[in-house]
Amino acid sequence: MALKGDLHDFSLTQLLNLVHLAHKTGTLTVHGTNDQVSLSFSEGKLVYGQGGLTDGHLVSILRHTKHLTEEQARLLMSRPQANNDKELGLLLIHAGYLDQQTIVQAVQQYITDLVLRLFTWSEGSFQFFNGVLPPEDRITVHLDLQNLILEGARRMKEWETLQEEIPNLDLALKFTDRPDSRLRGINLTVEEWRVVSYVNPKNTIRQIAHTNRLSDVEIRRIVYGLMQSGVVEVVHLQGDTSPAGPRIMPIPRTPEQASLINRLIGRIRSL
């Protein structure tokens, strides 16, 4: 099944949330106006990225993170190991030039910068290629997407989108009960922590905003980030009548009703 569309309709934050929740493995390519970025995921974790003017090889990454000068990068490119990142990494470690941790951190930094740059794109088409991973010789990492999703929501500026995502502030929030959703390891801002401390099915989003003196835009942005990163979900309060209008009571659930439904099932099966 294809997973493709446009960032205008389905934002990068939503895409990362989808990859995270569905534990997807594959490569997401995003084509912007003048640029293309590829991000690879394994079981919902970000493992590799390539984009912009760089080829995604280790030399380019170390140049990007300023661990190599232009001259050093050019010299390394002439070595036979230059096209195999793992071999090149070992060469640099054995030569005592860089340690393993520095190399991994450089790759993490490069990929994180790529994603943060992608958050600034409001236009672009995307496609997810299931099961496609970077070549074997590339150095991969395991980056949790939750923090990146939160960062994406923090950078969100479009008021209309936020309003469409969270149209009603008179709903409550609860922590998700998914086993992989934990607050541990997530970097929250002070404001986000304040909101989290009031998450309770009895408190509406509006009440939480009022208590924390947050504007409608601020509370929507925070709640959107917490929802997309899988920390909280919306719950409908009992008696909630939104959107405005009388609530139509369901027809009574009786044994006679069950018999009626069974007759309908029988008829539809026979069509």
Partner 1 sequence: MAPQTVKMVITGPFNSGKTAFIRSVSEINVVSTERKISSPAERVKETTTVAMDFGRITVDQDLVLFLFGTPGQKRFDFMWEILSEGMLGFVVIVDSTRPETFREARFIMETFRAYAATPFVVAANKQDQEDAWSVEDLRIALRLDSDIRCVECVATDREKVKNVLLELLDSILVEINKDSPKP
- Which one of the spans 17-25, 33-41, 78-86, 138-146 is the region binding partner 1 (CB under 8 A)? 17-25
Bridge partners for 46 per DSSP? 41, 143
The C-alpha atoms of residue 144 and residue 182 are separated, in whole angstroms, by: 12
Q: Does 116 bind partner 1 (CB under 8 A)?
A: no
Question: Which strand (E) or helix (H) includes residue 107?
Answer: helix 100-118
Closest to 107 measured CA to CA, from 142, 72, 145, 61: 61
Residue type, 161: T
Min dist. Cβ of residue 154 to partner 1 (A): 20
Residue with tokens 């997401």: 28
Contact predicate 199/193, CB 8 Å: no
**Of the residues 13, 17, 40, 204, which one makes contact with partner 1 according to CB under 8 A:** 17
Residue among 86 and 174 whose Cβ is closer to partner 1: 174
Contact between 243 and partner 1 per CB under 8 A:
yes
Task: Mark 18-47 with x for binding to partner 1 (rule: CB under 8 A) and - for no binding.
Answer: x--xx-------------------------
> How far apart, in whole angstroms, are the C-alpha atoms of residue 198 and residue 211?
9
Binding-site size, partner 1 (CB under 8 A) = 47
Q: Give kind and range of the element (H or E) at residue 29.
A: strand 26-31
Cα 72 to chain centroid, rounded: 35
Instruction: Write each residue from 202 to 231 as x if it is in contact with partner 1 (CB under 8 A), else as -, in one continuous string.
Output: -------------------------x----
CB under 8 A: which stretch of 35-43, 180-188, 215-223, 249-257 binds partner 1?
Answer: 249-257
Q: In the sheet that 36-42 helps form, which strands lie side by side, from edge to edge?
A: 3-6, 125-130, 26-31, 36-42, 45-51
Q: Decide whether 96 or 266 has the Cβ nearer to partner 1.
A: 266
Question: Cα separation of 216 and 137, whole Å?
Answer: 48
Nearer to partner 1, 190 or 268 (CB): 268
- Is 184 among the residues that bind partner 1 (CB under 8 A)? no
Question: For 196, what's the count of Cα atoms within 13 Å in the CB-facing half-sphere?
Answer: 20
Please identify, using beta-carbon distances, which residue of 49 and 230 lies nearer to partner 1: 230
Smallest separation, CB 239 to partner 1 (Å) = 11
Interface residues with partner 1 (CB under 8 A)?
Answer: 1-6, 8-10, 14, 17-18, 21-22, 164-165, 167, 227, 233, 236, 240-243, 245-251, 253-255, 257-258, 260-269, 271
